[in-house]
Amino acid sequence: MPRELQIQVAPDVAANQELLQQHIARLVQSNVSDIQHVSIVKRSIDARQRSVKINLKVAVYFTDEKFTEIKIDLPDYKNVTNAQEVIVIGAGPAGLFAALQLIELGLCPVLIERGKDVRGRRRDLKAINRDHIVDEDSNYCFGEGGAGTYSDGKLYTRSKKRGDVNRILELLVAYGASSDILVEAHPHIGTNKLPKIIQDIREKIIECGGKVLFETRVTDILVKNNEVYGVEIHTGEQLLAQKIILATGHSARDIFELLDRKKILIEAKPFALGVRAEHPQSLIDSIQYSCDFRGEFLPPAPYSIVKQVNGRGMYSFCMCPGGVIAPCATSPGEVVTNGWSPSKRDQETANSGIVVELKLEDFKPFAKFGALAGMEFQKAIEQKAWHLAGETQKVPAQRMVDFTQHKVSTSIPKTSYVPGTTSVELGQVFPGFLTQIMREGFVDFGKSMKGYLTNEAILHAPESRTSSPVRIPRDNESLEHLQIKGLYPCGEGAGYAGGIISAAIDGEKCALKVAESIAR
């Protein structure tokens, strides 16, 4: 058995196997030649002290112990060509992992995706950035892989109780992700690497007999006697199945409207909303690492910050070190921001959503929309921002200190947001209570992170798609909709996940419950 150790070392030691073995040899009072191999089990950064250290959990193999490189293989997927079909709506992480789990369980997924495959999506993303054209079915939110494909690929989740996080990580490694994601405390894949992984997952689904339908919009869920029997798609064709996993993501407003129109129970859900703040990465490095230059052995620094302001949480969300801000509208006449990073996180800027938690009472001006009140609140802010910024995909922007002081910024430097910005006093975008909380909150942030509150930081509005504004209620045990038999609300859009990992876990859980129901 290898010897496991918890150690703390300098960044250059953590990055060099030879130096690491020398350090461990001194620690255990052994010769370097006695150490065959050191495997890093877990890695995290400790930047609390002036001198940044790396925390490592390592497995040390001595020369008298056998070391074998662990290879992670794909599960033994079945051929499901002639198996019972289960419709899965949405090819984001919840839908993709639901489909894979169905195949493992001997069922045939019919995966329906309104958007294009990952390659086809690129042209539409280019059109948003360059030409300000929003395709309602193919954009940063809709298409193969969902919103996660062209996001940072963050794989960190606090939802350990939801399911087996390591299983999802190992599956991603088996499909081509770096094995580093099994080690890092806050793993991520990177926007540049996710598309190939997602494409390989889709090819495996098809190879095993599953079906994948792109550019196919679901226009109706067919229900008889409170039980599903299929869906209707935009061509008018009906696809029949007794089980449907609904994994459409947090921006599928037409699906929420469809359910509401059919009187299928949904509920308004609180979410969070605010801005996306961009700083020079070098500034965040200097704040977090307490140094002028981070050096070659430390990654671009992230940050995480939470404050209570006037009884509400204001916090960083989806922080992207060395990343860029992207246009994430899903319909013409609105603007939305989000952030992503490439795998190396090597861009010159850092960005993060800075958002404030909302309450159901905040949606009262939209009460006539019932369960869709939160969605309409969200939509109204996105549309107002679009109008104020010039009715293109430019977004309203303001320097951070100017925002706290109610000043219109006389100039906005070029930011990573490619469609561009328009100088706007952001108090015009948000309701008064939300503006006041953010103004006070940024001042508090500056007290905790010296240098954070600066006019070098540019606020882009709005960051509004943090989570679904709707919950689709389901039974805690069967995971079926409370009212409609055979319908399994799933993932982030249904209100049961918040990121790639938790969505993938929920997709697998729903697939397992579908199989259990069929077996009974």
Tell whether the model's pLDDT for residue 163 goes beyond 90.
no
Q: Distance between CA 469 and CA 381 in Å, rounded?
A: 13
What's the average model confidence in pLDDT over 83-99? 98
pLDDT at 382 over 70: yes
Section 120-139 average pLDDT? 95
CA angle 88/91/93 to nearest 5° reads 105
Whole-number Å distance between alpha carbons of 513 and 420:
46
If you write DSSP's letter for every residue of 389-407 in order, what string do you get?
Answer: HTSSS-EEEEEHHHHHTT-
Q: For all residues of the chain together, what is the average pLDDT?
A: 95
Q: Is 411 exposed, middle or buried (0-12, 13-18, 19+ CB in 10 A)?
A: exposed
85-266+477-519 CATH choice from 3.50.50.60, 3.90.550.10, 3.40.50.720, 3.40.50.11540: 3.50.50.60
Nearest to 510 by CA among 107, 14, 68, 53: 107
The confidence score (pLDDT) of residue 318 equals: 92
Q: H or E segment at 489? A: strand 487-489
Which range is least confidently modeled, 146-150, 294-298, 487-491? Answer: 146-150
pLDDT value for 222: 98
Which of 66-70, 88-92, 208-212 has the lowest average pLDDT?
Answer: 66-70
Question: Shortest CA distance to 348 belongs to which of 449, 263, 251, 279?
Answer: 279
430 burial type by CB count under 10 A (0-12 exposed, 13-18 middle, 19+ buried): buried
What is the model's pTM?
0.95
Q: What is the pLDDT of residue 152?
A: 63
Residue range 437-446, pLDDT digits in tens: 999 999 999 9
Does pLDDT of 160 surpass 60? no
Question: In this structure, are residues 85 and 110 in contact, taking their beta carbons and an 8 Å threshold?
Answer: yes
The confidence score (pLDDT) of residue 149 equals 82
- Write down the pLDDT at residue 32: 94
Q: Residue 138's closest CA among 157, 119, 164?
A: 119
Domain ranges (residues) in the chain: 3-62, 85-266+477-519, 272-463
Report pLDDT digits (tens) over 364-380. 999 999 999 999 999 99
Residue 216 predicted with pLDDT over 80: yes
Hey, CA dihedral for 419, 423, 424, 425, is it positive or negative?
positive
* pLDDT tens-digit map of 285-337: 999 999 888 989 999 999 999 999 999 999 999 999 999 999 999 999 999 99
**In angstroms, how far is CA 249 from the centroid of its own chain?**
11
- pLDDT over 70 for what percent of the chain? 98
Question: Residue 344, Cβ neighbours under 10 Å: how many?
Answer: 11
Residue 102 C-beta-side C-alpha neighbours within 13 Å? 36
Pick the CATH number of 3-62 from 3.30.420, 3.90.930, 3.40.50, 3.30.70: 3.30.70
Average pLDDT over residues 152-168: 75
Q: Check pLDDT > 70 for residue 118.
A: yes
